[in-house]
Amino acid sequence: MSRIHYLLRNILIINKIKNDPYIGLLELTDYIEQTLTLRGIEDAGISRRTILRDIQSIQTDFGIDIQYNRQRQGYFIEDLALRSDVEQFLDSFDVFNALNMEAGVPDFVFAEKHRPRGTQHLFSLIHAIKNALRIRFSYEKFQGETLSERYLEPYALKECRGRWYVVGRTKGQQDLKTYGLDRISNLDVTEERFKKDASVNLSEKFRYSYGIYSSDEYPVEEVVLSFDAEDGRYLKSLPLHPTQEIIQDSKEEFVIRLQVKITEDFIMEILSRSWSLKVIQPASLQERLHNIYQSALKR
């Protein structure tokens, strides 16, 4: 059975136990088998022994503690508050896998035609990160330069706008760098182990970032934006950033406050809502957007 099926089983188990606590082993096994069949994976060979092994591996792979309650004869997750990075990975992988079923996408599902490249590296990178193994790969920048060889100590995977990135350090350097999986080739997971720096807090590093850029050259700024009510409904259901705070929500105007690094990714995102966008602060962002609009008009 392929590694993608193995990881998919684990994700299905986590989500099922999270949403249906104290589910029994037999019911859980039947659910996993039926769900895999619906996703076009026939002859999955799922047994109760398989599920028990998966439950044990989930602790190692995801750091999620699944316990068995003898009194209620079912499984539950010890700490339901899953880390946000784990939640995001589970959601992203599930969507990716749902749209890449082996049986093919049915003709009534109209998914975007562009699919991210590089996802074939995910499992090798997960293995390298879990086991603190250095990796080598060839990398091509967007500028179309010749391939360069990279030697990296991988710390994490990050998904942004449909693209996957590996985050890590070059040996002997302190700066964390990100590399798009779609521009990686000749990936080699070496047998060389490295000691992870316990002071590296990636959740904090990306806390105020938008997109993949997290460099300290971008200061964290308070940003206040105004939109019309229609855009407001969209931004309530899908916030622009985790720090989003609603200041005003009326029939005329929807105003939010963010604490964010004003990166190129952030600017591109708010430009996509230009028809109703008004930048209240900071003035530097107002000026930057003004220059972008002026430049566009002159073309």
- Domains recognised in the chain with CATH numbers: 3-80 (1.10.10.10), 119-205 (2.30.30), 220-298 (3.30.70)
C-alpha span between 273 and 281 (Å, rounded):
16
Q: Is the pLDDT of residue 201 over 90?
A: no
Q: How far is CA 35 from the centre of its chain?
A: 23
Tokens of 101: 């079923």
Q: How many CA atoms lie within 13 A of 221 on its CB side?
A: 17
Residue 145, class by beta-carbon neighbours within 10 Å (0-12 exposed, 13-18 middle, 19+ buried)? exposed
Q: Indicate if the pLDDT at residue 139 is higher than 70.
A: yes
Q: Which two tokens stand for residue 197?
A: 């720096």
pTM of the entire predicted model = 0.63
If one compares 7 and 178, the residue with the highest pLDDT of the two is 178
Q: Predicted confidence band at 102 (pLDDT cuts at 50, 70, 90)?
A: very low
pLDDT category of residue 112 using cuts at 50, 70 and 90: low
pLDDT at 87 over 90: no
CA distance 164 to 158: 6
pLDDT-wise least confident of 136-140, 210-214, 247-251: 210-214
- For residue 70, the model assigns a pLDDT of 93
Average pLDDT over residues 119-134: 85
Q: Quick one: tokens of 227?
A: 């939109």
The two structure tokens encoding residue 84: 């946000």
Cis peptide preceding 282, ω within 30 of 0? yes
The gap from C-alpha 138 to its chain's centroid, in whole angstroms, comes to 23
The length of the chain in residues reads 299
Give the confidence band of 116 by pLDDT, cuts at 50, 70, 90. low
Count the alpha carbons within 13 Å of 131 in the hemisphere toward its beta carbon. Answer: 14
pLDDT of residue 99: 43
Q: What pLDDT is stored for residue 101 in this prediction? A: 47
Per residue in 214-263, pLDDT (tens digit) is 777 889 999 999 999 999 999 999 999 999 999 999 999 999 999 999 99
Angle between helices 84-98 and 3-19 (to 10 degrees): 120
Alpha-carbon gap, residue 152 to 163, rounded angstroms = 19
**SS3 call for 101:** coil
